[in-house]
Copies of this chain bind each other. A is one copy, B any other.
Amino acid sequence: MTRFRLTIEYDGRPYMGWQRQSHGPSVQQAIEEAALRITGAQATVYAAGRTDAGVHALAMAAHVDIDREIAPFRLREGLNALLRPQPIAILDCETVADDWHARFSCLGRAYLYRIVNRRPPLTLDEGKAWRIPRALDVAAMHAAAQRLVGRHDFTTFRSVHCQSASPIKTLDRLDVRREGDVVLVEAAARSFLHHQVRSMVGCLAFVGQGKWSAADLQAALDAQDRAALGFNAPPDGLYFVEALY
């Protein structure tokens, strides 16, 4: 048995999310089916993060155990060939120690959220960004975001479907910056609650539009109540960008 670490890029739009579901296609299922065709054996692919429906990945980390002699390069090429024409690509494939685990060995996760701050509809970015027509005050968003950095009870920013044992997480970084009409939010933490990044971005968008002050964001955090959430941002703009080990 050899354990392979995979680095995966995907367009999340056609999928119910990373995780295998009975009611629709998933990224995990697509890769597992491709692996089955190469090895002839069922294998589970474990990922660092379980992205939601419509959420993308630029470099998801995952691993799979293969019971056959195969060079990492050949495995990558085979998976990519069999995944065609699905928008999933294995960017990198390497052997790792048998106790290396994409999810449990992961020391940090980073997400990027892309907002296109303009009134006209999206064309090339359709499904790949959240369009907000009203001009965003990015300095106010970044300043308010710092209220969320650190160790907090993030119940307000947690989906009711979240399976995490505790709502207490340490957010290492939440930066907001502008590049032309694109506003980028970068979030990093050891781990996130379900919907945490989208919920934080939704509330930061309230701040950027002047609907909320930084104090309102603080009050939402302090409420430790999902009902205090301002807005849950759509999946379109969210990208899993890095897993640290």
User: Which residues does chain B contribute within 8 Å of A121, judged by CB atoms?
Assistant: 80, 83-84, 89
* Chain B contacts for A10, CB-based, 8 A: 123-124
Given the complex, which residues of B lie within 8 Å of A9, measured CB to CB? 120, 123-124
Q: Tell whether A150 is near chain B: CB-to-CB under 8 Å.
A: no
- Residue contact B91 to A124, C-beta cutoff 8 Å: no
Q: Are A11's CB and B124's CB within 8 A?
A: yes
- B residues within 8 A CB of A118? 91
Contact check, A120 vs B11: say whether CB atoms are below 8 A apart.
no
Evaluate contact between A126 and B11: CB separation under 8 angstroms: yes
- A: contact size bracket: 20 to 34
Bound state CA distance, A87 and B122, in angstroms?
A: 7
Q: Which residues of B contact A123 (CB under 8 A)?
A: 9-11, 87-89
Please name all residues of chain B whose beta carbon is closer than 8 Å to the beta carbon of A63 when the two chains form the complex.
none
A128 — which chain B residues lie within 8 A by C-beta?
124
Assess whether A80 is in contact with B126, with CB atoms less than 8 Å apart: no
Which single residue of chain B is at the shortest CB-CB distance from A239? B124
> CB of A109 within 8 A of chain B?
no
| A241 contacts chain B at the CB level, 8 A cutoff | no
Name the residue in A10, A83, A123, A128 with the highest tally of chain B Cβ atoms < 10 Å from its Cβ: A123
13 contacts between A and B (CB under 8 A): A9-B120, A9-B124, A10-B123, A10-B124, A11-B123, A56-B124, A80-B120, A83-B121, A87-B123, A87-B124, A89-B122, A89-B123, A90-B120
